[in-house]
Homo-oligomer: A and B are copies of this chain.
């Protein structure tokens, strides 16, 4: 047997979520030469584009702006990106949508999956995205489940059981988000910052998420212990692993 080719799949409810919440993990994977696929279920056109609605933009114009910004950010991180355009506020779960996601899983063969956590009292689209991602991941494993065009998958199409990591919501404690993985993103932070700067409408968030990276970086150092000699300026991202870690060594 050979180890599977690393492939990171990121399922994002809206066009910008992946940047603020998982930009470090994405950039780090890309820097290691791994393939990263971001799939945006919607553009966030209704719920996260207030200033553009106030400016009188049309729905299609708003979507177009959001898409091009997200594409720029993905490029800055080194990731591929695609859009399912399922609509937001609310992001409605449907079997058809889930099957389109099944196709994405079978096409990208992820070895790791990132998505939103399962609770968010402030934004129902986030847990809806997580539920769809988790359901698609299970369906994509079954050889008896057809692709979205009705064809049956071949033996190589079906996927394994990739670990799933929830990225950090805006108000973590209100979402039952208890980090059990702290990711050191020090080397990837410059790219994350560059990606954030591709989203000019949320300029006030650039500093906010830089401070959050410092804060999570302090926790990286605390939990690693002083003996590991991490640098003062360690930057971090927090994740919540959903399935048990499988390992050959306790570390």
Q: Which residues of A contact B (CB under 8 A)?
A: 1, 3-4, 8, 25, 28-29, 32, 45-47, 49-50, 53-54, 62, 89-90, 92, 95, 98, 112, 114, 121-124, 134-135, 138-139, 141-145, 152, 155, 159-163, 165, 170-174, 177-184, 208, 211-212, 214-215, 218-220, 222-229, 238-239, 241-251
Contact = CB atoms under 8 A, between A and B. Distances in A.
Contact of A160 (B90, B95, B152, B228): B228
Contacts of A239: 250
Contact of A173 (B122, B178, B225, B249): B178
Given A161-B222, A248-B184, A121 B49 contact: no
A183 B250 contact: yes
Given A3-B228, A211-B215, 4 more contacts: A28-B248, A49-B144, A174-B178, A182-B247
Total copies of the chain: 6
A122 B243 CA distance: 9
Contacts of A224: 160-161, 246
Contacts of A3: 228
A171 B47 contact: no
Contacts of A211: 211, 214-215
- Please give me the 10 A-B residue pairs with the lowest Cβ-Cβ distance, nearest first: A160-B225, A161-B225, A160-B227, A1-B229, A46-B144, A211-B211, A224-B246, A173-B178, A53-B143, A53-B144
12 contacts: A28-B249, A47-B142, A53-B143, A121-B243, A160-B226, A161-B226, A163-B250, A171-B219, A173-B173, A173-B238, A183-B247, A211-B214
A98 B89 contact: no
Nearest to A210: B211
A180 B178 CA distance: 13
Nearest to A109: B227
Given A25-B250, A215-B208, A245 B180 contact: yes
Contacts of A114: 250
Contact of A92 (B95, B220, B238): B95
Contacts of A25: 250
B160 A54 contact: no
A186 B12 CA distance: 34
A239 B244 CA distance: 9
Contacts of A45: 144
